[in-house]
Amino acid sequence: MNNRRNQSNDRNSQGGNNRGKSTNSSRPSAGKGRPTSESRSGSGSEGGKSFGPKKPFQKHGAKPFVRKLKAAPVDDGTIRLNKYVANAGIASRREADELIKTGIVTVNGNVVSEMGYKVQPGDEVRFDGKKISSEKNVYFLLNKPKGFISTAKDEKDRKTVMDLMSSATTARIFPVGRLDRQTSGVLLFTNDGYLTKKLTHPSHDVKKIYHVTLDKNLTAVDMAEIKKGIRLIPEGIAEIDAISYIEKRPKNEIGLEIHIGWNRVVRRIFEKLGYKIDALDRVSFAGLTKKTVQRGDYRALTELEVNFLKMM
258-283 per-position pLDDT tens digit: 999 899 999 999 999 999 999 999 99
**What's the pLDDT band for 234 if we cut at 50, 70, 90?**
very high
* Fold classification of 79-131 (topology level): 3.10.290
Is the pLDDT reported for residue 204 higher than 50?
yes
| CATH for the stretch 207-285 | 3.30.70.1560
**What's the pLDDT band for 60 if we cut at 50, 70, 90?**
low
pLDDT tens-digit profile of 12-26?
Answer: 545 444 444 444 444
Looking at the chain, the whole-number percentage of residues with pLDDT higher than 90 is 53
Residue 61's pLDDT is 59
pTM beyond 0.85: the answer is no
- Select, from the ranges 105-114, 155-164, 247-256, the one with the highest average predicted confidence (pLDDT): 247-256
Q: Which of these, 15, 18, 193, 183, lies nearest to 89 by C-alpha position? A: 193
- Does residue 225 or residue 7 have the better pLDDT? 225
Distance (Å) of CA 163 to CA 159, 225, 277, 294, 297: 7, 40, 26, 16, 11
**What's the pLDDT band for 28 if we cut at 50, 70, 90?**
very low
Angle, vertex CA 127, rays to CA 125 and CA 128, nearest 5: 135
Residue 39: CB atoms within 10 A of its CB come to 13
**Comparing 182-186, 190-194, 209-213, which segment has the lowest mean pLDDT?**
190-194
Looking at the chain, the whole-number percentage of residues with pLDDT higher than 70 is 76
Specify whether the CB–CB gap between 44 and 38 falls below 8 A. yes
Write a three-state SS string for 136-202.
CCCEEEEEECCCCECCCCCCCCCCEHHHHCCCCCCCCCEECCCCCCCEEEEEEEECCHHHHHHHHCH
- Is-catalytic flag, 180? yes
Range(s) within the chain of domains with CATH label 3.10.290.10: 79-131
Average pLDDT of the segment spanning 99-111 = 92
* Fold classification of 139-202+291-311 (topology level): Alpha-Beta Plaits (3.30.70)
Residue 85's pLDDT is 87
Range(s) within the chain of domains with CATH label 3.30.70.1560: 207-285
Range(s) within the chain of domains with CATH label 3.30.70.580: 139-202+291-311
pLDDT tens-digit profile of 129-151?
Answer: 888 877 788 999 999 999 999 98
Specify whether the CB–CB gap between 270 and 109 falls below 8 A. no
User: Of 10, 128, 163, 180, which is the active-site residue?
Assistant: 180
Average pLDDT of the segment spanning 98-105 = 91
